[in-house]
Amino acid sequence: MGKNTTTTQQTVTPSLAVDLAGLKLSNPLMTASGTCGYGYEYGDFVDLSRLGAFVTKSITAEVRPGNEPSRIVETRAGMLNAIGLANVGLDAFMAEKLPPLQRMRQDGPRIIVNVAGHSIDDYVNTAGHIAADEDVDAIELNVSCPNVSDGLTFGTNPKLLKELVGLVRKAMRPACKLVVKLSPNVEDITATAAAAVEGGAQILSMINTYTAMTIDINKRRPRLANGTGGLSGPAIRPLAVYLVHRVYRCVARDAGVPIIGMGGVQYWQDAVEFLLAGASGLAVGTALFADPATPVTILEGLTEHLRQQGCKSVTELIGALELHTDPPAAPYP
């Protein structure tokens, strides 16, 4: 479908709306947690109301100062970070950071709050508390942070993950959706994806950063004070596209669980790759640091691409990947 239609360009604007397990977004574009702060920081540089959803940085029960600097280093086509979940804590988030997001929500984007914790109780309490707010459309569970000592405890153990997700789901306001953010730092991502779905995850987001390291060869020490960090940016995009494809085909498609794809999304072509691989939502992360308007630029490119492909809706691209082993959809003329 869609092939050889570039000559019959449509004048109708294609629909960009997507439905993620009942979470209706005006378009698939959103911010990746931790790359857009609490929303107001980029206000001068991008009209966030054009996003489908806004995802906050990770919120924890307590205030977290984060790791010692240096916390970031740029690498070839990417960057390593070891921020360490620095955030204002639950109380300050609810009192100071959520109200501006509630106002932003009136203009369009749905609000997804990312939550991290030390223990099951910690996750359950924080997620339950935040989800009680009617303006919080979804909670994204961060079980995949590579930069704090216990950040990957749940994200790499399917049994624990299923238990955690189940308990968090029960503690949440029913209408608030539960997103589980998967780590690529596992042996088999389909096992953690399946565990999250069995536990009650309604949406999967993937992927978090890859644990990685870079070394100052003169000092013979890691460039990051934390030693290791999470690799993000264009460097990981092909890895992320593959994992989205794999989880879509092995778990998500049959379970009817939509995927929010992310990892090095910088241009509209990247977004299309993730959609074809099976993502229904698209998060932009590292690229925001260089250009906060990236999601809006992608939106424009994506719309034009849909028009050229003769698609009436962006949903026609989701999972539309054809493998080389598939029979051709349409014979060449």
Partner 1 sequence: MSLLSDNTTPAQAHGRGRFDATVELNRVICREHYVLRLRLPGGFPPSLPGQFVQLGCRPPGAPDGAIDASWLGGCEHAWQPGDTPPQAQQPELRERVSVLRRPFSIAGRGDDAGGSWIDVIHRVVGVGTAWLAGLKRGDAVDLIGPLGNWFTLPAGKSMGLLVGGGVGLPPMFYLAQALYEAGWDAVGFVGALTADLLAVTFVADTPPDGQGAPWRCVEEYSQFDFPTVVTTDDGSLGMHGRITRGLERYLSAQTREDAAKTVVFTCGPNPMMHAVARLSASHSVDCQVCVEQAMACGMGTCQSCVVKIESPQDPHGTTDAGRPWRYRLACTDGPVFQAKEVLW
- Residue closer to partner 1, measured from CB, 235 or 244: 235
Strands 177-181 and 138-142: parallel
Given the residues 36, 145, 176, 311, select the one marked as catalytic: 145
- Residue closer to partner 1, measured from CB, 74 or 188: 74
Tell me how far apart the alpha carbons of residues 115 and 143 are, in angstroms, rounded to a whole number: 9
The footprint of partner 1 (CB under 8 A) covers: 34-37, 41-45, 57, 63, 65-66, 69-74, 77-79, 81, 83, 86, 233-234, 237, 266-270, 286, 288-293, 297, 301
To partner 1, the closest distance from the beta carbon of 108 in angstroms equals 20
- Residue closer to partner 1, measured from CB, 68 or 188: 68
Tell me how far apart the alpha carbons of residues 166 and 264 are, in angstroms, rounded to a whole number: 30
- 145 classed as catalytic: yes
To partner 1, the closest distance from the beta carbon of 223 in angstroms equals 9
Burial label, 31 (beta-carbon count in 10 A; 0-12, 13-18, 19+): buried
To partner 1, the closest distance from the beta carbon of 198 in angstroms equals 34
- Residue closer to partner 1, measured from CB, 38 or 154: 38
To partner 1, the closest distance from the beta carbon of 317 in angstroms equals 17
> In degrees, to the nearest 5, what angle opens at C-alpha 176 toward C-alphas 87 and 27?
85
Q: What are the catalytic residues?
A: 145
